[in-house]
Structure 1
């Protein structure tokens, strides 16, 4: 499964289908960018290159992604020679060639029989769709890995570390990991921030969150 699928599953409440992140589209986009970064399809520029440092560029000689959604994402980013990383997140949060990423990823989770689509009315009036957990075993296995890393100091693999960084950047690490348990929330946040500094794609997603907050406040 993609990081983008995992992060969406984790940030959706199992019983209610409520989305925990303020901007689910940006959260999923951060997952897609992280998938591309870990696969070596995109990178940040460094000092001395023709493009200014800390811009996101597509790696032209990297293997094309096998997953079609990642292929769409890479095509969307290939339209410019370089991106501010947060703007790349914004671009991936919008409709790609054929799909809106959030909708497509929920449908993929449903096809994997991890969630089920249900109808819901906000305040009893406005119809909306929610995705309810139907098989929690896959998610429970991820949560066990989070506990091992964040509560018992195990060394994270790159995938779990990237997920923790994304959850931290979206401000939902504590509710996802704590789940009503009596855990040290300050320690969780501290560990999450430490991993966030190691993953530029998650930092870009966090900046996209901040930019949207600022635009809404203005």
Structure 2
């Protein structure tokens, strides 16, 4: 199986100089949403409105996706369904490291330990093979800046990046306002079966809800 949407998102978010993810929280929401989207496309999970359900637990063959099938099953604990927002809140802080480990296992990045402020160990991820990221950015550019018709995965990725506000990381040097309309148009287009597109819309809505709640929690008193 090829690189996952979550891993693609982390490739776009990794800072080349520091080797750490930029906009880590937003990247986590997008990556967690990407895994749900892939599990929907693989017919392992269904998303409808505010709820997700785990159906087929057969492994997909991808370690990152299969680990989430197990984790979702454990999280549901016998329930038939759970809130998408609750799962995203639970997983978005963990999935960043899981996706980075996946990139390391694929040989696309190299994990390096370093001391932060001389005290705390921290991992940085140096790019080992830039060909995959270059091809990814070319694919995004063709769909958003050009007139290429995106395939299902590319359109789904664009929808997730747009929902998480990762415009500048996907298109460095361009103001978000110059790419956001086309990204929104792509997300709303006829790029997949209605069931998949409906699931993406529901995941997008859940991501927006989580983001708004988090912003309120982090806002200084009096704001």
Gaps of 5+ in 2: 189-196
Which deviations, in whole Å up to 9, do the C-alpha atoms of 1:107-137 show, x marking residues without a partner? Answer: 2212222112233444565442211212110
1:175-211 deviation line (CA, Å, top 9, x unaligned):
321x23xx46423011223344552334433432332
1:74 aligned residue: 69
TM-score by length of 2: 0.77
The residue aligned with 1:131 is 125
2:55 counterpart (50, 60, 63): 60
Give the unaligned 5+ runs of structure 1: 46-53, 95-99
Alpha carbons 1:65, 1:71 under 8 Å: kept: yes
Partner residue, 2:8: 6
Q: Closer, same or farther in 2 for the Cα pair 1:107/1:59, shift >3 Å?
A: closer
Equivalent in 170, 180, 185 of residue 176 of structure 1: 170
* Alpha-carbon RMSD: 2.6
CA distance in structure 1 between the partners assigned to 2:151 and 2:162 by the alignment? 17
Question: 1:33-85: per-residue Cα shift (whole Å, max 9, x none)?
Answer: 1211222222233xxxxxxxx13332525754332432331233331322222
Whole-angstrom distance in 1 between the partners of 2:9 and 2:217: 25
1:36 aligns with 2:31: no
Q: TM-score, normalised by structure 1?
A: 0.79
Mapped to 1, the partners of 2:17 and 2:51 lie a distance apart of 38
- The verdict on how the C-alpha distance between 1:35 and 1:149 changes in structure 2, with shifts beyond 3 A counting, is same
Query: 3-state DSSP class of the match of 2:133?
Result: helix
Structure with greater proportional helix content: 2
The worse-fitting range, judged by mean Cα deviation, of 203-212 and 157-166 is 203-212
- 1:115 paired to 2:109: yes
